[in-house]
Copies of this chain bind each other. A is one copy, B any other.
Amino acid sequence: MKEISNLMNYRSGVKVVDATLRDGGLVNDFYFTDEFVHDLYLANLKAGVDYMEFGYKADKEMFDVNKFGKWKFCNDDDIRDVVGDNNTDLKVAVMADVGRCNYKNDIIQKSDSPIDLIRVATYLNTIPAAVDMIEDAKKKGYEVSCNIMAISNSREGDLKVALDILGKSPVDVFYIVDSYGALYPEQIARIADTYLEFADKYGKKVGIHAHNNQQLAFANTIEAVGDGVDWLDATYSEMGRGAGNCAMELLLGFLKNPKYNVYPVIKFIEEHMLKLKAEGVVWGYDLQYLMTGLLNQHPRTAIAFTKDKRNDYTEFYKEVVVQD
């Protein structure tokens, strides 16, 4: 059984990344109030969270700034308004999607930015473009991670080639991303083995970003940490696209490093997340997400089902189970 199986102890290299604004922003088009973001920053500080992801660096040529909240774009000044000089242990992260980020312009020199970590998100078929973004961000002075999305329907051989290319790049962390919430803990164990093989070879770290379609986001995350994965994504009240993510409150309850504290998370949920839900923002486990997870499909059909306030689950099942 696993090294961390000594459940009474902890591994100091573990890092917790709060992805609430970024993955949660996919649910409400990033329309968070300033108070929400400010309080989330304070809650993360008190909870001992290691990184707070503020949102995306989305290309303003591609996305209309009037149709999204500001955290889809993460202007450095907007982050600065929240964190000031950020003389804290909580580091600032943003995500930059391959093909949807004007990184050469919008990601400035680290020395002029409140951002610490650039998270490059890519599919398997755009690894060279991801490497270009990684190199750019590294040269500018950032920590850089790379999220390889939707690996549950990738071929293992392709994944290994991608990890080898990324291993040779200056990226710091490879992320396992279960975009469809399709993976079981035993599969996570095997995937973590593969990632760690390349991480060890090239001196990188491994992270995990899970989705909760089968109520396994937390289980897969603690499986991964037991396998040697160090970077763990979580969100408050598991807020995130579709079925949501690994809940921060579950994760901090599990981790035994005394620097982590679940109480500020509970307080933030009571003060802010209940309100969001009452306002009609909808996310989290439900049958339609279970079905797309089980079928290893992108949840877009399930998200549409949710938006349409449908509950004819059997009809939905018949729609998604057949793929002509």
- Give chain A's interface residues, CB within 8 Å of chain B: 1-2, 4-5, 7, 184-187, 189-190, 212, 214-219, 222-223, 226, 247, 249-250, 253-254, 262-263, 266-267, 269-270, 274, 287, 290-291, 294, 311-314, 317
A314, B266: Cβ atoms closer than 8 Å: yes
- Write out the residue numbers on chain B whose beta carbons fall within 8 Å of the beta carbon of A287: 249, 266, 269
Chain B residues with Cβ under 8 A from A214's Cβ?
218, 250, 253-254
Please give, as numbers and ranges, the residues of chain B lying within 8 Å of A262 by CB-CB distance. Answer: 294
| B1, A186: Cβ atoms closer than 8 Å | yes
Partner of A190, one of B1, B215, B267: B1
**Complex copy number for this chain:** 2
- The docked-state distance in angstroms from the alpha carbon of A270 to that of B314 is 7
Q: Which residues of B contact A5 (CB under 8 A)?
A: 186, 190
Task: Verify A185–B219 contact, CB threshold 8 A.
Answer: yes
Assuming A219-B219, A317-B263, is B294 touching A186 (CB within 8 A)? no
Report the Cα distance A218→B266, complex, angstroms.
24
Which of B186, B219, B223 is in CB contact (< 8 Å) with A215?
Answer: B219
Residue in B186, B263, B313, B314 whose beta carbon sits within 8 Å of that of A2 in the complex: B186
**A311→B270 contact, CB < 8 A:** yes
Q: A215-B219, A270-B314 are in contact. List 19 more A-B contacts (CB 8 A).
A: A1-B186, A1-B190, A4-B186, A7-B186, A7-B187, A185-B219, A214-B218, A215-B215, A215-B217, A215-B218, A215-B250, A250-B290, A266-B287, A266-B314, A267-B314, A270-B311, A270-B312, A270-B313, A274-B311
Closest to A216 in B: B219
Find the B residue at minimum CB distance from A266.
B313
CB distance from A72 to the nearest CB of B (A): 29
Across the interface, which residues of B come within 8 angstroms of A190, CB to CB?
Answer: 1, 5
A-B contacts, 26 of them at CB < 8 A, read A1-B186, A1-B189, A1-B190, A7-B184, A184-B222, A184-B254, A185-B219, A185-B222, A214-B218, A214-B253, A215-B219, A215-B247, A216-B218, A219-B219, A250-B290, A253-B294, A266-B291, A266-B314, A266-B317, A267-B313, A267-B314, A269-B287, A270-B312, A270-B313, A270-B314, A274-B311
